């Protein structure tokens, strides 16, 4: 009778076995008070009060638009963080993701507060060269189409240049890593031309290519292809000869050795070369767009600077940072998918 009584609860029968352990884990996963979230909520609330209650300082410049909207947005973020910090029963995954970026949420609110203070409130950094955070809302609200069009054209140029450069660099790297004759003729050329900054070749490139767009694609491809070629060559050349010997004993042809032994073994180095080439591709893209392309983030930066529209320039820099960060994140995802076989060999 006591055993039956132990299983009974006001809500019915208590879970046993696997159900009990699952319920215990779910109960233990319920978040307690999130103190970092409370600090973040306080910081965002302070940003809201600073933005709304403190009048803007006007020093030879018109008052900043969207000041109240920015303050209320900060208040909404503060309320959301307060709810995540105190309310029980919220989705565990949501709370965990929020806690992972908790310190950054505090730092972001403090940084925006300092930015607001030294620009719109105290005027320590003079307009129009320095604009407060709410000016970015104004730009994104009034110039969204031009920013999106510029970002799309930059992404198209970037994808074309990186694709061509990665393909050419990969083929050249495999050639000089596999063939001694190709190494003899191509390697010295890479040693001479590879270290030259691609932006230094702009005048010559504009002469040989019919348009500024094709010039930008060529220079981006050149900046991407050099590190891909060098590291692919290093990867192919460093494959241990025992792999080739084992494949030959099983009747492998030279094409099989290249396609199924040398290239898979060099893929980790290829992705390292791609990551290195992305930095050169980004800088080359911006410089090339500043010197003749009719649409793109580099062109938008030049246009904004020419009209002294510095908030537009800052907005373009933010879009550029998000775009380039997204490209790098996408490359990480591709690398993780292609090199999934490495997960059992090295720690990620």
pTM, full prediction: 0.76
Contacts of residue 254, Cβ cutoff 8 Å, sequence gap at least 6: none
For the cut 70, the answer to whether the pLDDT of residue 173 exceeds it is: yes
- CA distance linking residue 233 with residue 237, whole number of Å: 6
* pLDDT surpassing 90 at residue 104: yes
Q: What is the mean pLDDT of the chain?
A: 83
**Mean pLDDT over residues 325-334, rounded?**
90
Place of tokens 């995540």: 84
Res 61: pLDDT? 54
The secondary structure element, H or E, covering residue 341 is none
CA 189/CA 243 separation, integer angstroms: 30
Residue 16 scores a pLDDT above 50: no
Using CA atoms, how far residue 332 sits from 274, 275, 339, 344, 348, in Å, is: 10, 9, 10, 18, 12
348 pLDDT band, cuts 50/70/90, is: very low
Q: Rounded mean pLDDT of 24-47?
A: 77
219 three-state secondary structure: helix
Where do the structural domains in the chain lie, given as residue ranges?
23-140, 144-340
Q: Given pLDDT bands bounded at 50, 70 and 90, which one contains residue 27?
A: very low
Q: Which CATH number fits domain 144-340: 3.20.20.80, 1.10.3720.10, 3.30.360.10, 1.10.760.10?
A: 1.10.3720.10
DSSP codes of every residue in 231-286 = HHHHHHHTS-HHHHHHHHHTT--HHHIIIIIIHHHHHHHHHHHHHHHHHHHHHHHH
Tell me which range, 3-12, 78-87, 195-204, 264-273, is most confidently predicted by mean pLDDT: 78-87
Average pLDDT over residues 278-295: 81
Please tell me the predicted confidence (pLDDT) of residue 131: 87
DSSP assignment letter at 143: S
> Would you call 86 exposed, middle or buried from its count of C-beta atoms within 10 A (0-12, 13-18, 19+)?
middle
The two structure tokens encoding residue 109? 């609110």
Cα 66 to Cα 70: distance, rounded to the nearest angstrom: 6
With beta carbons less than 8 A apart as the criterion, state whether 174 and 263 touch: yes
- Give the mean pLDDT of 254-264: 84
Lowest mean pLDDT: which of 90-94, 157-161, 331-335, 344-348?
Answer: 344-348
Nearest Cα to Cα of residue 120 among 57, 185, 166, 181: 57
Whole-number pLDDT of residue 114? 96
Q: What is the pLDDT of residue 187?
A: 84
Region of poorest pLDDT, from 30-44, 72-86, 102-116: 30-44
Q: Is the pLDDT of residue 109 over 60?
A: yes
Tokens of 2: 């006591």
Q: How many Cα atoms sit within 13 Å of 70 on the Cβ side?
A: 26
pLDDT band at 203 (very low <50, low <70, confident <90, very high): confident
């Amino acid at each position: 009778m006591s055993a039956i009584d132990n299983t009974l609860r006001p809500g019915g029968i208590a879970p046993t076995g696997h159900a009990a352990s699952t319920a215990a884990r779910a109960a233990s996963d319920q978040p307690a008070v999130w103190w970092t979230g409370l600090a973040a909520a306080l910081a965002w609330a302070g940003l809201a009060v600073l933005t709304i209650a403190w009048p803007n300082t006007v020093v030879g410049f018109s008052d900043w638009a969207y000041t109240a909207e920015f303050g209320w947005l900060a208040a909404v973020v503060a309320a959301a963080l307060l709810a995540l910090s105190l309310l029980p029963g919220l989705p565990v995954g949501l709370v965990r993701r929020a806690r992972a970026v908790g310190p950054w949420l505090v730092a972001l609110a403090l940084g925006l507060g300092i930015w607001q203070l030294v620009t719109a409130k105290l005027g320590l950094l003079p307009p129009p060269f320095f604009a407060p955070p709410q000016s970015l809302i104004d730009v994104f609200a009034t110039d969204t189409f031009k920013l999106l069009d510029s970002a799309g054209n930059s992404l198209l140029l970037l994808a074309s240049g990186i694709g061509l450069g990665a393909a050419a660099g990969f083929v050249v790297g495999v050639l000089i890593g596999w063939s001694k004759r190709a190494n003899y003729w191509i390697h010295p050329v890479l040693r001479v031309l590879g270290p030259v900054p691609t932006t230094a070749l702009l005048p010559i490139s504009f002469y040989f290519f019919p348009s500024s767009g094709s010039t930008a694609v060529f220079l981006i491809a050149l900046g991407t292809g050099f590190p891909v070629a060098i590291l692919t060559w290093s990867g192919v050349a460093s494959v241990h000869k025992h792999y080739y010997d084992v494949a030959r004993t099983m009747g492998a042809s030279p094409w099989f050795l290249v396609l199924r032994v040398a290239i898979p073994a060099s893929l980790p180095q290829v992705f390292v070369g791609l990551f290195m080439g992305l930095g050169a591709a980004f800088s080359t893209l911006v410089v090339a767009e500043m010197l003749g392309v009719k649409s793109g983030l580099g062109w938008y930066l030049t246009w904004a600077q020419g009209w002294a529209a510095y908030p537009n320039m800052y907005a373009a820099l933010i879009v550029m940072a998000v775009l380039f960060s997204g490209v790098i994140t996408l490359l990480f995802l591709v690398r993780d998918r292609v090199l999934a076989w490495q997960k059992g060999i090295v720690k990620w």
